[in-house]
Amino acid sequence: MSATTTTAPEVRLRGAAVPTALTLLVVLACWQVAVPLLDIPVYVLPSPTAILAHADWSAIVSASGSTSVGVVLGFVAGNLLGFVLAGLIAWSAAAASVLYPIGLSLRSVPIIALAPFITLAVGRGVSATTTVAGLIVFFPTLVNVLAGFRSVEREALELMRVLNASKRDVFVRVQLPAALPLFFDALKIAAPTSVLGVMTAEWVIGGHGLGQLILTESLALNGETMWGGIVASAVIAGLAFTLVSLAERLLIPWAGDQ
Amino acid sequence: MAGTDAIRADAVSKTFTIGKESFQALGEVSLEIPERTFATFIGPSGCGKSTLLRILADVIAPTSGEVSVFGRSAAQAREERDFGFVFQDPVLLPWRSALANVELPMQLNGIDKAERRARALELLDLVGLQGFEKALPAKLSGGMARRVAIARALTLGPRVLFLDEPFNGLDEIRRQNMNAELQRIWLETRTTTVLVTHNVSEAVFLSDRVFVMGRNPGRIMAQLEIDLPRPRTIETMTSPEFVEYDRELTALLRTAYEDAEP
Ligand SMILES: Nc1ncnc2c1ncn2[C@@H]1O[C@H](COP(=O)(O)OP(=O)(O)O)[C@@H](O)[C@H]1O
Ligand SMILES: [Mg+2]
């Protein structure tokens, strides 16, 4: 028995894909049947086939593009910031005493309350939505990664001491890898959160993304396109989450077997 | 087993302070362990065996007293990487294969990749793990993980090997097999070894010198030389001499336990 018996990531994904697809089909079917049965007005909830046939898909695709850019940039920026700050805090007590209170106070401000300020500072559009998404995902990542750095057992640190390892070696060879599972947990939380952040910002600040589209289409009582936008946002969030999970399985296969 | 002392502890004590509470884990402990000796600490749990081992290896500092290792301070010896240490928990890095875990000390020491790979393979062989080089720790049984930890502790050719209950939790037969294997490795390397255990026959089987420890505060209550020919075998364990040592050590340990109960 050699150790290379782990299931390949694709195989495991495919295994989960079948029940997921089935569930989705059942939900769609119920939806399709329920709308005419309950006589729901089309501007509130059109049936899936009506959405498919009558939504303004070119507008939805273009809005999805704009939203995705904000999601990706905000996701990267916020997580990078959270990771680096957690690293600095774990590395040096001095950095911790300065940075942690700053992080905490930033946390206690509802980010969306900063929207007017953010618009003044970076302008409207993608720069603003990116900033909001980044700020929203940053703190949970900071907390998780910090917990990761601190999750190293005492005996592992004692082992490094017996080996007369430098502080840098302890950090790079023990603390950093030990933090990765919790970092990926944070990324999985951050993926849908950053979609939420971007869309909320679009709603409040404006721009060309899905948040704005859903708002205007609902006001115009255009249920099909509004629902098309909602479905598109769910797809973006799901896709982001799936990509992170896939990256996790590829990059830290050892963590799944704990 | 005459010759110079590998380890000398002089009136070593340890008091832990947590907040306003302080607790004396070790009274004044003095001991000598000659070079190339297999020495063992045995005693009731909580009597400070692990603490004493950590102090000898300069993992933690004593509150008072001194430790010298081959004539230098324990700190100097540690900085010169004289020590191999196997903790009660194998503490393998879960993202590293068995081989990469064994390579770790050499990697920290700047030994080049080809050389450390060769040496690590040799050591995995020595502990009987050929074929498991690529296995991640999660795929190893408890006994295999402990053997990886032992191989890792041997990589830099330590002058002193510390083993803190390395076979705890293994069933009796596995423990005996591991003991036989450890004795074989020890006979090959003759590294001065300090073992912590609370298993009497393990202590007799492996040791040249056994220190019986007691509690409140932790201290050495008795010292017993085991003068049995090596290699010791399963047959040795049924010999009258072995049985007598076992009985004697059990009696000493019983006193240590009785003393420890309030
Ligand atoms: N880092 C520590 N802080 C506080 N108390 C400790 C610490 N390490 C050990 N102790 C205490 O010291 C005593 C001896 O512990 P230990 O050396 O682990 O005993 P043993 O290995 O013989 O079971 C125990 O009562 C334990 O709770
Ligand atoms: Mg112990």
List chain A residues with CB under 8 Å of B99. none
pLDDT the model gives residue A104: 81
Mean pLDDT of all residues belonging to chain A: 90
Distance CA A150, CA A165 (A): 18
At residue A8, does pLDDT exceed 60? no
Instruction: Note whether residue A120 is domain-resident.
Output: yes
- Residue A13 — pLDDT band, cuts 50, 70, 90? low
pLDDT the model gives residue B262: 56
Average pLDDT estimate for A198-208: 89
Instruction: Note whether residue A90 is domain-resident.
Output: yes
**Nearest ligand 1 atom to alpha carbon B48:** 17
Distance CA A172, CA B107 (A): 13
B51 lines ligand 1 (CB under 6 A): yes
State the CATH number of the domain containing residue A194.
Answer: 1.10.3720.10
- Residue A135 — pLDDT band, cuts 50, 70, 90? very high
Instruction: Note whether residue A140 is domain-resident.
Output: yes
Asked if B238 and B254 touch (Cβ cutoff 8 Å), the reply is no
Q: How far is B66 from chain A (nearest CA, A)?
A: 18
Q: Does A69 touch chain B (CB under 8 A)?
A: no
Q: How far is A154 from chain B (nearest CA, A)?
A: 10
B197 lines ligand 1 (CB under 6 A): no
B61 lines ligand 1 (CB under 6 A): no
Residue-range definition of the domain harbouring residue B211: 1-82+161-170+199-262
At residue A3, does pLDDT exceed 50? no
Residue-range definition of the domain harbouring residue A198: 59-257
Q: Does B243 touch chain A (CB under 8 A)?
A: no
State the CATH number of the domain containing residue B71.
Answer: 3.40.50.300
Under an 8 A CB cutoff, do B94 and A4 touch?
no
Q: Which of A4, A153, A163 sits opposite B108 (nearest CB)?
A: A163
CB atoms within 10 A of CB B261: 8
Instruction: Note whether residue B230 is domain-resident.
Output: yes
pLDDT the model gives residue A89: 93
At residue A257, does pLDDT exceed 60? no
For residue B34, give the 3-state DSSP assignment: strand
Asked if B74 and B93 touch (Cβ cutoff 8 Å), the reply is no
Under an 8 A CB cutoff, do A162 and B108 touch?
no
Task: Pick the more confident residue, A2 or B232.
Answer: B232
- Structure confidence by residue, pLDDT tens digits, A158-175: 999 999 999 999 999 999
Instruction: Note whether residue B138 is domain-resident.
Output: no
Q: Does B111 touch chain A (CB under 8 A)?
A: no
Task: Provide the number of structural domains found in chain B.
Answer: 1
Ordered per-residue pLDDT tens for chain B, 262 residues: 446 899 999 999 999 999 999 999 999 999 999 999 999 999 999 999 999 999 999 999 999 999 999 999 999 999 999 999 999 999 999 999 999 999 999 999 999 999 999 999 999 988 889 999 999 999 999 889 999 999 999 999 999 999 999 988 778 888 898 899 899 989 998 999 999 998 999 999 999 999 999 998 999 999 999 999 999 999 999 999 999 999 999 999 999 888 766 5
Instruction: Note whether residue B55 is domain-resident.
Output: yes
Place of tokens 């916020």: A78
Task: Provide the number of structural domains found in chain A.
Answer: 1
pLDDT the model gives residue B260: 60
Instruction: Note whether residue A10 is domain-resident.
Output: no
B105: nearest CA partner in chain A: A163
Instruction: Note whether residue A180 is domain-resident.
Output: yes
Peptide bond into B166 cis (omega under 30): no
Nearest to B49 by CA among B204, B215, B206, B252: B215
pLDDT the model gives residue A4: 43
Under an 8 A CB cutoff, do B136 and A254 touch?
yes
Lateral strand order in the sheet of B192-197: B83-86, B160-164, B192-197, B38-42, B209-214, B219-225
Instruction: Note whether residue B255 is domain-resident.
Output: yes
pLDDT the model gives residue A149: 95
Distance CA B232, CA B225 (A): 15
Instruction: Note whether residue A2 is domain-resident.
Output: no
pLDDT the model gives residue B2: 46
pLDDT the model gives residue A18: 84
- Structure confidence by residue, pLDDT tens digits, A22-66: 999 999 999 999 999 999 998 899 999 999 999 999 999 999 999
Q: Which of B12, B17, B21, B50 to mutate to test the pocket of ligand 1 (most atoms within 8 A of CB)?
A: B50
Instruction: Note whether residue B7 is domain-resident.
Output: yes
Task: Name the amino acid, one letter, at B120.
Answer: A
Distance CA A210, CA A216 (A): 10
Instruction: Note whether residue B27 is domain-resident.
Output: yes
A11: its two tokens: 């195989």
Instruction: Note whether residue A24 is domain-resident.
Output: no
Ligand 2 midpoint to CA B212 (Å): 14
Q: How far is A230 from chain B (nearest CA, A)?
A: 40
Q: Does A10 touch chain B (CB under 8 A)?
A: no
- Counting one residue from chain A and one from chain B, the pairs whose CB atoms sit within 8 A come to 66
Distance CA B84, CA B93 (A): 16
Average pLDDT estimate for A108-137: 90
Under an 8 A CB cutoff, do B134 and A3 touch?
yes
Q: Is B142 exposed, middle or buried (0-12, 13-18, 19+ CB in 10 A)?
A: middle
Q: Which 50-89 residues of chain B touch chain A by CB within 8 A?
A: 54, 57, 59, 78-81, 83-85, 87-89
Under an 8 A CB cutoff, do B91 and A155 touch?
yes
pLDDT the model gives residue A102: 85
Mutation site for B-interface testing, chosen from A151, A163, A182, A252 by largest number of B Cβ within 10 Å: A163
Nearest to A86 by CA among A143, A48, A128: A143
B60: nearest CA partner in chain A: A158
Distance CA B11, CA A17 (A): 66
Peptide bond into A177 cis (omega under 30): no
